[in-house]
Structure 1
Amino acid sequence: MADSAGSNRRLGGSLTLVDAIAQSVGVMGPVFSIAFLVPLLVGLNASGSGAGAAAPLSVAIGAIGVLGLGWIVAQYARRIHSAGSLYDYVTDGLGKRVGAAAGLLYYVGILVLGVGILVMIGGTIHDTLQAEFGITPLPEVVWDLILLVGLGVVLYMGVALSTRTQLVLALVSLAVVLVFFIVVIVKVGDGNQVVTAFNPGTSPQGLSGVLFGVLYGVLLFTGFETAANLGEETKHPKRDIPRAVLISVLTVGVFYVIGSYSQVAGYQFNLDALGSNAGAPLFGLAGPVSDGGFGSVAVRRLLELVVILDMLAVMIGCSVAASRGFFALARDRRLPTALSSVSGRGTPLVASLVVVAAHLVVIVITAAWTGLFAQENMPHYVAMFSWGSTYGGFSLAVIYLLMSVGALRGLRDHSKLWAVYLAGATGIVVTGAAIFGAVYKVGAPIIYAPYAAIGVFAIGLVLAFLHREQSIDPVTAAVPTARA
Structure 2
Amino acid sequence: MVDHAVSENVTTGHRLGGSLKLVDAIAQSVGVIGPVFSIAFLVPLLVGLNASGSGAGAAAPLSVVIAAVGVLGLGWIVSEYTKRIHSAGSLYDYVTDGLGKRIGAAAGFLYYAGILALGAGILVMIGGTIHDTLQAEFGVTPLPEAGWDLLLLLGLAVVLYLGVALSTRAQLVLALVSFAVVLAFFVVVIVKAGAADDVGKAFTPASSPQGFGGVLFGVLYGVLLFTGFETAANLGEETAHPKRDIPRAVLISVLTVAVFYVIGSYSQVAGYHFDLDALGKNAGAPLFGLAGPVSDGGFGSVAVRRLLELVVVLDMLAVLIGCAVSASRGMFALARDRRLPAALGKVSGRGTPLAAAAVVVAFHAVVIVLTATWTGLLAQPEMPHYVAMFSWGSTFGGFSLAVIYLLMSAGALRGLRDHRRRWAVYLAGTVGIVVTGAAIFGAVYKVSAPIIYAPYAAVVVFALGLVLAFRHAARA
Partner of 1:132: 137
Deviations 1:397-447 (A, max 9, x none): 000000000000000000000000000000000000000011111110000
2:206 aligned with 1:206: no
Partner of 1:141: 146
2:265 aligned with 1:263: no
CA contact (8 A) 1:7 1:337 kept: no
Instruction: Tell me how many residue pairs correspond in the alignment.
Output: 467
Partner of 1:26: 31
Equivalent residue letter for 2:395: T
* Residues 256-335 of structure 1 mapped to structure 2, 5 A cutoff: 256-335=261-340
Partner of 2:3: none
CA contact (8 A) 1:22 1:163 kept: yes
2:104 aligned with 1:99: yes
Partner of 1:82: 87
Q: Secondary structure at the match of 1:467?
A: helix
Question: Which of 428, 449, 454 is matched with 1:423 structurally?
Answer: 428
Shift of 1:468: 3.4
Equivalent residue letter for 1:404: S
CA contact (8 A) 1:24 1:226 kept: yes
Please list every run of 5 or more consecutive structure 1 residues that lacks an aligned counterpart in the other structure. Answer: 472-484
Partner of 1:475: none
Distance 1:242 1:92 in 2: 18
Equivalent residue letter for 2:131: H
CA contact (8 A) 1:88 1:99 kept: yes
Distance 1:441 1:220 in 2: 20
Partner of 1:152: 157
Distance 2:63 2:377 in 1: 33
Equivalent residue letter for 1:400: Y
Distance 1:55 1:321 in 2: 30
Distance 1:261 1:365 in 2: 38
Distance 2:13 2:33 in 1: 32
CA contact (8 A) 1:51 1:205 kept: yes
Partner of 1:219: 224
2:361 aligned with 1:373: no
CA contact (8 A) 1:391 1:449 kept: yes
* Residues 346-425 of structure 1 mapped to structure 2, 5 A cutoff: 346-425=351-430
Distance 1:172 1:441 in 2: 37
Shift of 1:6: 11
Alpha-carbon RMSD across the aligned residues, in angstroms, is: 1.1
What is the TM-score with the length of structure 2 in the denominator? 0.97
Shift of 1:190: 2.0
Equivalent residue letter for 1:45: N
Distance 2:209 2:146 in 1: 43
* Residues 219-258 of structure 1 mapped to structure 2, 5 A cutoff: 219-258=224-263
CA contact (8 A) 1:47 1:440 kept: yes
Q: Secondary structure at the match of 2:339?
A: coil
Distance 1:341 1:53 in 2: 51
Distance 2:157 2:113 in 1: 18
CA contact (8 A) 1:6 1:342 kept: no
Shift of 1:191: 1.5
Deviations 1:118-141 (A, max 9, x none): 000000000000000000011110
Distance 2:220 2:35 in 1: 16
Equivalent residue letter for 2:337: D
CA contact (8 A) 1:343 1:349 kept: yes
CA contact (8 A) 1:6 1:338 kept: no
Deviations 1:281-339 (A, max 9, x none): 00000000000000000000000000000000000000000000000000000111110
Distance 1:396 1:58 in 2: 20
Q: Secondary structure at the match of 1:468?
A: helix
Equivalent residue letter for 2:44: P
Q: Secondary structure at the match of 2:42?
A: helix
Question: How high is the sequence identity, in percent, across the aligned residues?
Answer: 83
Partner of 1:111: 116
Distance 1:110 1:37 in 2: 19
Shift of 1:8: 1.9
Distance 2:447 2:475 in 1: 42
Equivalent residue letter for 1:351: A
Distance 2:361 2:255 in 1: 32
Deviations 1:139-182 (A, max 9, x none): 11000000000000000100000000000000000000000000
Distance 2:124 2:159 in 1: 18
Q: Secondary structure at the match of 1:413?
A: coil
CA contact (8 A) 1:29 1:314 kept: yes
Shift of 1:376: 0.6
Partner of 1:441: 446
Equivalent residue letter for 2:196: G
Shift of 1:189: 1.2
CA contact (8 A) 1:12 1:346 kept: yes
Deviations 1:445-465 (A, max 9, x none): 000000000000000000000
Distance 1:395 1:225 in 2: 14
CA contact (8 A) 1:7 1:341 kept: no
Shift of 1:470: 8.2
Equivalent residue letter for 1:467: H
Question: Which of 56, 67, 70 is matched with 2:61 structurally?
Answer: 56
Deviations 1:16-48 (A, max 9, x none): 000000000000000000000000000000110
Distance 1:470 1:197 in 2: 57
CA contact (8 A) 1:55 1:261 kept: yes
